[in-house]
Amino acid sequence: MKKNIFARIWRSVFRHGIPDTDMNRSLVVTSNIFLHLHPVKVRKHGIKFWYTMGFGGTSFLLFIILVVTGALLMLYYTPVPSEAYRSMKDLNYVVSFGEFQRNLHRWAAHGMVITVFLHACRVFYTAAYKPPREFNWVIGVFLLLITLGLSFTGYLLPWDQLSFWAITVGTNIVGYAPFIGEKLKFLLLGGNTVGEGALLRFYVLHCFALPLLISIFMAIHFWRIRKDGGISGPPVEVKEVETELHSEKPAPEKTYGLMALVDGESFMVKKEPEDTVFTWPHLVLRELLWAMLVINILVLISLYFSAPLEEMANPYKTPNPAKAPWYFLGLQELVHYSAFLGGILVPTLAITALIILPYIDRNPRGEGVWFSRERQWIQIVFTVCVVALIVLTIIGVFFRGANWSFVVPW
């Protein structure tokens, strides 16, 4: 009788038995709202760690951690200049585990900027933006921009000298944009300078508008991964496609996002891939182990390194140098040479180039392979841009001192 009750409760929640048959392994995925993000089966190639390096999944995990820790921080935070800084002090010295929550949130945010960037690089170097994934790359570019927006708006909230001046410099860069720059800056700040209005706007953007927007874009991103046939991979063997193309049998309705190259032309294959394994347990267990590792690393970092908090924001005391958040220091470095270059030309060109990339790169080769030799030129150009960005950022972070003069950090 007792057993029956438990069995009934189990059945009321889970619509499958122990996953020791193919049917139950499928049901584990299809009958669970979270696992349902995945297909029942995945290609072996796509779950190899060295292919995706888990950067996309890690970005998502960090986002979830940010939502949870962010909600906890909201319990103690008041977005008013006179209160905001005091909330930070309270979190650091009064609230139980308050500083730990702050650290988790801060390091996860920096981590997400880095992993989203690395994820975009992985997608580029494995040519995973080629048909049919062009549009998902474009969605990804918006995800990158929103991630930067989330981090930037969060930067102001502690209302200390560091955050106040970083946002002052950052919004000045926004002001350089052609035609709309000044208007956009005014809209963002709710005035001409960083003040009460800016703090409230950044708070609303950071805690409501941008999280909502990024959630919508992520939902589209994940949905598209499924619709595009799962994770990319090398094109299927030509022989197989020829059989398929010349087959008498009508091809199944569903396409699998797999590409085949026939005489240099790419074809979408209408054929279920053969090299697949069940998502449960092969992919899901890998994801869980990876998530545990990432969470452990984040916890360790947050236990040993505190998020910075300088003295309270003072609009009359400009630090020298006043630096933008680290991921915009490359731009600030360029602005130092020319406001047009750093504030307008480079960001506009970079965003436009990223958005149109999958449509102008018409070379069908190299998909699913890291650093394919068949697309050397485009890889060289991309690498030069990435290295330039990293070098400029390092210069901005470590080698710039008072009056933006060159200093040696050691």
Number of residues that bind ligand HEM (CB under 6 A): 25
Which residues touch 376 (CB under 8 Å, ≥6 apart)? Answer: none
Dihedral Cα 161, 165, 167, 171, nearest 10 deg: 160
Stretch that binds ligand HEM, among 51-59, 72-80, 172-180, 386-394 (CB under 6 A): 51-59
Q: Please, which residue, 106 or 323, has the CB nearer to ligand HEM?
A: 106
- Closest by alpha carbon to 80, among 190, 201, 183? 201
Nearest approach in angstroms of CB 36 to ligand HEM is 14
Per-residue contact track with ligand HEM, 115 to 154, x per CB under 6 A?
Answer: -x--xx--x----xx---x--xx--xx-xx--x-------
What is the C-alpha separation between 235 and 153, in angstroms, rounded? 42
| CA distance linking residue 160 with residue 309, whole number of Å | 6
Q: Which residues of 181-202 are buried (b: 16+ CB within 10 A; e: fewer)?
A: beeebeebbbeeebeeebbebb
For residue 330, the minimal CB distance to ligand HEM (Å) is: 17
Of 128 and 169, nearer to ligand HEM (C-beta) is 128
- Shortest gap between Cβ of 19 and ligand HEM (angstroms)? 23
Told to check if 256 binds ligand HEM by CB under 6 A, we report no
Of 52, 168, 171, 172, which one interacts with ligand HEM (CB under 6 A)? Answer: 52
Q: CB nearer to ligand HEM: give 87 or 279.
A: 279
CA 337/CA 312 separation, integer angstroms: 31
Helix, strand, coil share (%) of the chain residues, nearest 5: 65, 5, 30
Q: Is 61 near ligand HEM (CB under 6 A)?
A: no
The reply on whether position 47 binds ligand HEM by CB under 6 A is no
CA distance 106 to 323: 18
Beta carbons of 358 and 134 less than 8 angstroms apart: yes
Of residues 80-119, which lie at the interface with ligand HEM (CB under 6 A)? 116, 119
Which residues form the interface with ligand HEM (CB under 6 A)?
Answer: 52, 55-57, 59-60, 116, 119-120, 123, 128-129, 133, 136-137, 140-141, 143-144, 147, 218, 221, 225, 231-232
